[in-house]
C-alpha cells in the first residue's frame, strides 16, 4: 500500500485599508474587520419589522358627536453583519483625528492568510474493511462465492 501526502498551501493576501471609529482603538479594530471582510467576505442578515396602529375615537355628548380616526406606522430595520478570519499581521500606517467631525481615521497595512486546498483534498475516498458472514447464514459454501 502506498501513502501519498496531501499538500495544502497558505497564501498571504495583503491590503491597505481605511476605516473610521469614535476612538483611536475602534478605528484600528474597524480597519482590521474591513480587511477580513474584503478578503473572506461578510455575512449580512437583515430583519425588518413593520408596526401599524389604527385608532378610532368617538366622542358623544347631549348636543353633538364627533368621530376621528388616527393611523400610524413604524418601521424598524436591524442589520447584523459577521466577518470571520485570522490576521497574520498588521501595521498602522496612520491614525488621525477626523477634521470634519468627531472620530478617528485609521489606515492600516494588513496581511491575511488564505487556505488553499490541494486538488487531492477533493478526491473520492473509500474505506476497505474485513468481510464477515453472519453465523445465521446456513447455505453450504456460501463464503466461497466471494473468493
pLDDT digits (tens, 9 = 90+) for 97-127: 988 778 999 999 999 998 887 777 777 777 7
Residue 37 has pLDDT above 80, yes or no: yes
Q: What is the pLDDT of residues 88-100, one digit of tens each?
A: 999 999 999 988 7
In a domain, 17, yes or no: yes
* Residue 119 located in a structural domain: yes
Q: Give the domain extent around 118.
A: 12-146
Residue 24 CA to its chain's centroid (Å): 25
Beta bridge partners of 116: 9
Query: How confident is the model at residue 110, as a pLDDT?
Result: 94
**pLDDT for 18:** 94
23 compared with 8, residue with greater pLDDT: 23
3 inside domain: no
Is residue 26, in this structure, part of any structural domain at all? yes
Asked whether residue 2 is domain-assigned, the answer is: no
- Total number of domains constituting the chain: 1
- Look at residue 135 and tell me if it is in a domain: yes
This prediction has a pTM of 0.57
Report if residue 4 sits inside a domain. Answer: no
Does residue 122 belong to any structural domain of this protein?
A: yes
At 35 the pLDDT is 92
Q: Which residues contact 135 (CB under 8 A, 6 or more apart)?
A: none
Amino acid at each position: 500500500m502506498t501513502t501519498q501526502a496531501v499538500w495544502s498551501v497558505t497564501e498571504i493576501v495583503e491590503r491597505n485599508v481605511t476605516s473610521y471609529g469614535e476612538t483611536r482603538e475602534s478605528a484600528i479594530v474597524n480597519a482590521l474587520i474591513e480587511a477580513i471582510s474584503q478578503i473572506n467576505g461578510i455575512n449580512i442578515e437583515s430583519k425588518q419589522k413593520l408596526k401599524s396602529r389604527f385608532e378610532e375615537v368617538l366622542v358623544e355628548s347631549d348636543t353633538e358627536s364627533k368621530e376621528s380616526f388616527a393611523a400610524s406606522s413604524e418601521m424598524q430595520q436591524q442589520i447584523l453583519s459577521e466577518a470571520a478570519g485570522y490576521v497574520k499581521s498588521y501595521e498602522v500606517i496612520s491614525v488621525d483625528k477626523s477634521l470634519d467631525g468627531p472620530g478617528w481615521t485609521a489606515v492600516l497595512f494588513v496581511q491575511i492568510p488564505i487556505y488553499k486546498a490541494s486538488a487531492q483534498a477533493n478526491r473520492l475516498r473509500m474505506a476497505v474493511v474485513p468481510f464477515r458472514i453472519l453465523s445465521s447464514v446456513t447455505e453450504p459454501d456460501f463464503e466461497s462465492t466471494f473468493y
